[in-house]
Chain A
Amino acid sequence: MAEEEEIEALQAVYGDDCLVLQTYPPSFHLHIKPRTADDSSQQFVEAVIGIQAGPKYPDEPPAIRIVDSKGVDEQRQKQLISCISERACELSSCLMLVALCEEAVERLSSMNHPDGECPLCLYPLVDEDEGSSAPFMKLMSCFHCFHCECIIRWWNWLELLKESDTPTASGSASSSGNIKDQDDSVKVTWSLLASKIAEEARRKCPVCRKSFLAKDIEHVLDFVKTQHAVTSSGSEVNNEDKLLFSDSEKLRREKFDAILKLQQEKGGLIEIKKHEVLRPGIFFPQPAAVLSTASTEDAKEQQDRDLAANSRTNSSGSSNKPSSSRARNAGTKEHKGHDSRKQVTHSSRKQVTHSSRKQVPHSSRKQVWVKKEDSNPT
């Protein structure tokens, strides 16, 4: 029977890529890849299509569907199916299976580019209007695509993280977590953990967390070096203004403030801001509250708050540090009476005991420190 021979022909052409489900009426799955001269790093899409003929085949064209695909968005999936189906109608009443499969490979080859945007910079991978865009690559295991420069920058970041994660270096504080614990042993454990995490993360796709190998991105390394000056992703723009100062934003901001005020009046806010004006990552000291009135309970509460404030100051970006320390120094001069209190709360307890013993010639300072001890009768 001619139809059975057709299936045999398919198997001969496509080998393992063709999975025959039924000989008659013919039904099979075909794994298709774009034609890239077998360079799989240049294949950004692939698909498994199912072709299922009915008993009236070939007078009635077979049903065609996508069984599975990688890198092909919905729109292109539809396009692929409709192209193959059209071809099937054209070839009606002829034995068409091999021709349909060729059509499928042809179409998929024409769609061989990643869709959407780079998950790391959120800019399009392929800018169809401009034609030329930053070079991109895919991870072989999951087909997720990135701008070469974006993925390399991420990779380098993780490498850097790994290097800085020696047990003594607190560089990890600025990079990932919040180290709130002042206990050294905890710090060491944490940083070992962090390096272990970094070790694992560097092999995982940022999008799906599927593991990939270092060699998956090595082929783009050199490319990035040579292209570095040309590509765009490192650039910074400063055109926020229009966005932030529109009327609708003003309205929205007012609404925000109203809610905040109401919650504050009802005591619904966590009151870190009572003594300091806090921006995460930036610390502005204000004239501190008078300590002597604080009860034991308050002191403890305050300590907790300061811990939170402290963890933020610690985790601030490097660019913020100079200004904050300058501000703190200024505070030292202007508010001497309260300054020691600041020191107590913003360094670890161990350090404080140490430093206050060593460098407190002022009697006023000592008094404050003693007072604190007094109010803490444990």
Chain B
Amino acid sequence: MNGLPRRIIKETQRLMAEPVPGIHAEPDEQNARYFHVIVAGPEESPFEGGVFKLELFLPEEYPMSAPKVRFMTKIYHPNIDKLGRICLDILKDKWSPALQIRTVLLSIQALLSAPNPEDPLANDVAEQWKVNEAEAIQTAKEWTRLYAMNN
């Protein structure tokens, strides 16, 4: 593999030296642009207790263009579709090169705490979230228990 830009090395070192609470990210052995990520479901969210696996890839143009991030663990969330793709503005048009892997993952963690059915990616989930929030939250908890818990 070619050499990595210094910025990616710097970010990787910091992610490991000062990890963000509830978030683990580490580069793949073969590809230092590919990160294995684990995000813990935030407290007092339907995802609490869950351990969610994500993959994050830094494209050639990073940090000029945004990292590509996807959930690998199934999750019932109005802004995450069944393929794990995430609807988050900073991953699209609001990306700025001053953002980092760390800030992106923090935003995703925050998205779990605050689902936004008004800007949906998974339409059926968003609909359910709007029509019957209590039931949607129940389903999200159920999915968390089924798919994202380790015991």
Contact = CB atoms under 8 A, between A and B. Distances in A.
Given A206-B96, A268-B148, A235 B6 contact: yes
A252 B148 contact: no
Nearest to A268: B147
Given A176-B92, A256-B36, A263-B148, A308 B27 contact: no
A236 interface: yes
Interface stretch (B56-64, B105-113, B127-135): B56-64
Interface residues of B, number: 55
Interface in A155-170: 157
Contact of A157 (B24, B64, B73, B100): B64
A279 B57 CA distance: 8
Interface string B19-36: 000001011110111101
A259 B114 CA distance: 25
A161 to B, nearest CB: 8
Nearest to B55: A280
A208 to B, nearest CB: 9
Nearest to B32: A240
B74 A270 contact: yes
Contacts of A59: none
Nearest to B37: A256
Interface string A261-287: 011001111101000000111100000
A282 to B, nearest CB: 8
B98 to A, nearest CB: 4
A154 B96 CA distance: 10
A243 interface: yes
Interface in A287-327: 304-305, 307-308, 312, 315-320
A121 B7 contact: yes
Contacts of B63: 120
Interface in A232-263: 233, 235-240, 243-245, 249, 252-253, 256, 259-260, 262-263
Contacts of B2: 236, 319
A88 to B, nearest CB: 39
Contact of B72 (A178, A266, A269, A318): A269
Contacts of A243: 9, 12-13, 16
A262 B14 CA distance: 29
A148 B1 CA distance: 29
A119 interface: yes
A197 B93 contact: yes
Interface residues of A, number: 60
Given A253-B26, A263-B148, A280-B68, A236 B3 contact: yes
A251 to B, nearest CB: 11
Given A244-B32, A267-B147, A121 B64 contact: no
B1 to A, nearest CB: 8
Q: Which residue, A193, A197, A243, A305, has most C-beta atoms of chain B within 10 A?
A: A243
A119 B98 contact: yes
Contacts of A122: 6-7, 10-11, 100
Contacts of A193: 93
B4 A237 contact: yes
Given A120-B97, A318-B60, A238 B38 contact: no
A209 interface: yes
A174 interface: yes
B4 A236 contact: yes
Interface of B: 2-7, 9-13, 16, 24, 26-29, 31-34, 36, 38, 51, 53, 55, 57, 59-61, 63-66, 68, 70-74, 82-85, 92-93, 95-98, 100, 146-148, 150
23 contacts: A121-B7, A122-B6, A123-B10, A174-B61, A176-B65, A177-B93, A197-B93, A209-B96, A233-B6, A240-B32, A243-B16, A244-B29, A244-B32, A259-B38, A262-B150, A266-B146, A269-B73, A269-B147, A270-B71, A270-B84, A281-B57, A318-B60, A319-B60
| 8 pairs of A and B residues whose beta carbons are closest in the complex | A317-B60, A268-B147, A236-B3, A280-B57, A206-B98, A119-B98, A238-B3, A122-B10
Given A243-B9, A259-B51, A270-B83, 12 more contacts: A175-B61, A206-B97, A240-B12, A243-B16, A244-B32, A252-B26, A256-B24, A259-B150, A268-B146, A269-B53, A279-B34, A281-B33
